[in-house]
Amino acid sequence: MQLFQKFFIVATIWVAAWPVKATAQSDDFKTAQSLDIFHSVLRELSLFYVDSVKIDRLVETGIGAMLESLDPYTVYIPEEISGDFDIVTTGQYGGIGALIKKAPGGVEISEQYEGFPADRAGLVAGDLLVEIDGRNAYDIPADKASKMLRGAAGTPVALKVVKLRGGDTLALSVVRERVHLSDVAFAGLVADSIGYICVTSFTKEGSRDFKNAFLSLQKTGRLRRLIIDVRSNGGGLLEEAVNIVGLFVPRGTEVVTARGRIKLFEATYRTQEKPLDTQIPITVLVNSASASAAEILAGALQDLDRAVIVGTRTFGKGLVQAVRKLGYNTQLKVTSARYYIPSGRCIQIIDYSHRNEDGSAGNIPDSLRRAFKTKNGRTVYDGGGITPDVIAEPTAYTRTTYELVARNIPWSYSVHYFATHPTIDAPEDFHLSDDDYEDFIEYAVGQQFDGRTASELQFEQLVETLRHEQLYNDMKNELAAIQTKINTDKRDKLRRYRQELQPLLEEEICARYYYTAGRIRAMFRRDTQLETAIELETKK
């Protein structure tokens, strides 16, 4: 009842102090009236509901339902996840530098970050934490274990670990430190004179990471063209995207404007620093999961005619969020404005309630889109995301592959492979042998996954429809023949789809030995969108 009492006092004061105007239909009166009704409902439920109720849970549910009626990005941040929210925005935390997941017998390391305490202590993916600070990890949920591993930099955490390789049980004391997750996952030359920088997020100091990566490429003396990859980059801090744009355009260039109902949240963002290179040809890679700050970077460079955009249409998130503190260590992330990039267009999808299955912008009728002009007079459009100058579709996968990835089987096989292979070739040269792939097949069929193809699912639906319409008996012989042809066992499917599955396995295995950079280096061999970007840059 403590939270209820606090809410009662706050709500009562708010209602009493609200400046009610003479007209009963004023907005202020309606707000006060609604607060009074909401408080009354909580009071009645607390006193008379048949079962005991937790008022704090009811309030949180009510807040969630209220915000859900607005837009997808206005959300309530309760105290228990405020720390996780801070990690997303700052890209840093105090901890050991590892991802974990729940596993039978304890908590399993799923990935260790290169150079951080977990990595230096020799922890690898597949190692099992059976004790954390003296507590048996068998019954500790992954989210609680994660909080136990975090803490102030300089403080130790005691671990008991069953090692993947060899199975020995070790007692370790790992000292936490400030873990900064770089926004640049990889930077290097992908062709003789073409630099490549993969940007995975826009967190605090992310533009510094990018600047350092670009300067390192310049120091090679070979850099003549640049590819910036923001595919599947969900965005982050607007200022960091503006700073990256500022590396390639004159100081004082307008990058984005925020406009909203409240003047407090309106602002124009211009580049602040002297640029590093205003002439180098740039290509930006995007896809349907490039959102928010990633779209601002790509869209601004497109509008300023400073880069060619390659890939597929971006997500379409052009709404600005402000974080407001509510008290009791809770926060509200509220949509406060819309973004407008240099041409004057807004990247926000016109109807954000109707999207594709992956959440990206759906089809937008031409009649609803408006034309704008880039700096050099090219026509671009609003209505939802950034449309690339050159469309390059990603690799298409079968349902079987999606199912395996959803079940995390490529990752678990990479751990299985890592346990018995001390070393592998460099990511650019590593390939699974025929025997290795057969080993994967035997491993995968022993795991739980739905092996049905899209064809088999559609066939089952067809049969069900025919039965419902009483047509099945007339066609059962023909249907049986079709079923024999499309139904194959899991082993046959995995052999049939080797061409698309093997590269994914090789990328995951390379990550076990060479970290995230190794995964990206292995991806270069099958990245058709990157190949398109390289071809464009080569022709410039």
Place of tokens 């500790």: 140
Query: For residue 99, what are its two tokens?
Result: 């991802």
* 320 secondary structure, DSSP code: E
User: Parallel, antiparallel, or unpaired for β 308-311 and 282-286?
Assistant: parallel
Whole-angstrom distance, CA of residue 447 vs CA of residue 450: 10
What is the 3 state secondary structure string of 354-405? CECCCCCECCCCHHHCCEEECCCCCEEECCCCCCCCEECCCCCCCHHHHHHH
Contact 84, 92 (CB under 8 A): no
What six digits make up the tokens of 241?
């995207």
Q: What is the 3-state secondary structure (H, E, C) of 288-357?
A: CCCCCHHHHHHHHHHHCCCCEEEECCCCCCCEEEEEEEEECCEEEEEEEEEEECCCCCECCCCCCCCECC
For residue 88 the two structure tokens come to 């997303």
Measured distance CA(297)–CA(259) in Å, rounded: 18
Catalytic residue from among 183, 209, 229, 303: 303
* Total Cβ atoms within 10 A of residue 118: 26
Query: Which entry of 292, 343, 412, 414 is annotated as an active-site residue?
Result: 292
User: Catalytic residue among 127, 317, 382, 527, which?
Assistant: 317
H helix intervals, 91-205 = 117-120, 142-149
292 is catalytic: yes
User: How many C-beta atoms lie closer than 10 Å to residue 33's C-beta?
Assistant: 14
CA angle centred on 408, ends 407 and 413, rounded to 5°? 125
The residues that bridge with 335 in the sheet, in sequence order, are 321
Residues 320, 265 contacting (CB under 8 angstroms): yes
What's the Cα-to-Cα distance from 443 to each of 63, 193, 282, 409, 434, rounded to whole Å? 46, 42, 43, 9, 14
Three-state DSSP class for 460?
Answer: helix
Cα–Cα distance, 171 to 121 (Å, whole number): 11
In this structure, are residues 353 and 499 in contact, taking their beta carbons and an 8 Å threshold? no
CA distance 123 to 100: 11
DSSP state of 198: E
Nearest by Cα to 73 from 425, 293, 333: 333
How far separated are the first and last CA of the chain, in Å rounded?
69
Please, are residues 297 and 317 in contact by the beta-carbon 8 Å criterion? no
Which tokens belong to 342? 């240099």
| Contact status, residue 100 vs residue 110, Cβ threshold 8 Å | yes
Question: In angstroms, rounded to a whole number, what is the distance separating the alpha carbons of residues 504 and 444?
Answer: 14
Interacting residues of 215 by C-beta distance below 8 A, sequence separation 6+: 276
Show which residues are catalytic.
292, 303, 317
